[in-house]
């Protein structure tokens, strides 16, 4: 696969449309309506709308591919959710005018839990809590072939384009193809530049990024680790896989995700890491779990074989792994 492959074009087209839909909803959002799923995580009309658009396009272009995505339409089909389903359909109609509510639900349900030889995994909105706070979120899409991530796309509508200008223009699209490097595009998928990780060798010059949510990572452990590594700059807290993009474009050196003590048995979802991991790796970075094992996206929707995540510029990886276990 290369940047001209139909998979890449489709993934970019789908992510651009989905991010336009999410931004539209974000702009209109009053009060931040959301449904709480059985695991207490929030899901919004944007999550559903984004997944419907992404799944429809992928299934249309690649009818034989499996899709493993975060949402399903079970909650949405409940009679007492009809208002929300109507809103989802209205927003999808701005892209696909003829779509009915029934079709929207059926597109969302193109997703299954089947890990096949070749499958797509997608998070229609990664960092829903960030989305609700008008903070960072990402549309994350990856293609996995024979257990290897071969394509990753991250659309980050709220992430500033130029690291020298954090108050400047916003909206980035990160794209990585296995063996072909990582690029950053604008949110229309037009302009592009090659990105690479930082060349920092000395950990005291490094910077770290971590989740905003204290339940998603052990912030105290991260702080102690930073001290061991003589990292003096405070950690940058950011929602979603935008953190992978930050390491990939060399803006931060490390992304740490040591499991939170509030949920020690938590296992990461494949759609929360597949796209981000290839973008960091193809930019020259290294991605493992906190035991140094490669991320394994092949055992189900949960990454049962992995414990936490460490993303680095590669140069500092072993040093950080040692410090974690010191
Ligand atoms: P982040 O924005 O990096 O904090 O990650 C958001 C993702 O964290 C969501 O998509 C959830 O799937 C995932 N998540 C939910 N609970 C946990 C947890 N206890 N530990 C780690 N990640 C979690
Ligand atoms: Mg997510």
Task: Give the closest residue (by CA) to ligand 1 atom 14.
Answer: 216
Our answer to whether residue 128 is catalytic in this structure is yes
Helix, strand, or coil (residue 101): helix
User: Quick one: pLDDT at residue 30?
Assistant: 57
User: Quick one: pLDDT at residue 39?
Assistant: 67
Helix residue ranges, H only, the chain: 6-28, 45-61, 82-93, 101-108, 128-132, 219-228, 242-248, 274-282, 317-324
For the CA of 126, the closest atom of ligand 1 is 10
User: Quick one: pLDDT at residue 137?
Assistant: 97
Instruction: Specify whether the CB–CB gap between 303 and 267 falls below 8 A.
Output: yes
136 lines ligand 1 (CB under 6 A): no
* Span 53-103, pLDDT tens digits: 999 999 999 999 999 999 999 999 999 999 999 999 999 999 999 999 999
User: Quick one: pLDDT at residue 196?
Assistant: 98
Q: Give pLDDT < 70 ranges for the chain.
A: 30-33, 35, 37-42
User: Quick one: pLDDT at residue 163?
Assistant: 74
Question: Distances from the Cα of 188 to the Cαs of 133, 138, 155, 179, 191, in angstroms?
Answer: 24, 15, 10, 24, 8
Q: Would you report the helix, strand and coil content of the chain in percent, each value rounded to 5?
A: 35, 25, 45
211 lines ligand 1 (CB under 6 A): yes
Instruction: Specify whether the CB–CB gap between 132 and 218 falls below 8 A.
Output: no
Cα gap 155→187, rounded to integer Å: 7
Cα gap 187→166, rounded to integer Å: 17
Question: Distances from the Cα of 23 to the Cαs of 19, 26, 45, 193, 295, in angstroms?
Answer: 6, 5, 12, 23, 31
């Amino acid at each position: 696969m290369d940047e001209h492959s139909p998979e890449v074009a489709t993934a970019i087209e789908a992510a651009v449309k989905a991010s336009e839909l999410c931004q539209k909803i974000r702009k209109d959002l009053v009060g931040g309506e959301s449904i709480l799923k059985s695991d207490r995580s929030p899901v919004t009309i944007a999550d559903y709308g984004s997944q419907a658009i992404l799944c429809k396009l992928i299934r249309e272009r690649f009818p034989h591919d499996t899709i493993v995505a975060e949402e399903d339409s079970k909650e949405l089909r409940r009679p007492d959710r009809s208002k929300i389903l109507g809103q989802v359909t209205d927003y999808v109609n701005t892209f696909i005018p003829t779509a009915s509510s029934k079709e929207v639900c059926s597109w969302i349900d193109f997703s299954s839990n089947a890990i096949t030889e070749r499958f797509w995994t997608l998070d229609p909105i990664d960092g829903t809590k960030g989305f609700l706070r008008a903070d960072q979120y990402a549309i994350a899409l990856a293609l996995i072939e024979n257990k290897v991530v071969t394509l990753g796309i991250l659309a980050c509508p709220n992430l500033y384009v130029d690291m020298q200008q954090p108050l400047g223009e916003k909206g980035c699209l990160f794209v990585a193809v296995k063996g072909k490097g990582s690029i950053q595009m604008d949110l229309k998928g037009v302009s592009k530049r090659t990105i690479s990780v930082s060349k920092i060798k000395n950990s005291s010059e490094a910077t770290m990024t971590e989740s905003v949510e204290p339940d998603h990572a052990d912030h105290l452990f991260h702080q102690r680790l930073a001290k061991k590594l003589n990292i003096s700059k405070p950690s940058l807290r950011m929602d979603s896989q935008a953190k992978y993009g930050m390491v990939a474009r060399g803006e931060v050196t490390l992304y740490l995700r040591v499991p939170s003590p509030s949920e020690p048995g938590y296992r990461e979802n494949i759609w929360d890491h597949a796209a981000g991991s290839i973008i960091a790796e193809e930019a020259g970075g290294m991605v493992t779990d906190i035991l140094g094992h490669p991320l394994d996206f092949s055992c189900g929707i949960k990454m049962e074989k992995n414990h936490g995540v460490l993303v680095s510029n590669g140069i500092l990886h072993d040093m950080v792994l040692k410090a974690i276990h010191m």
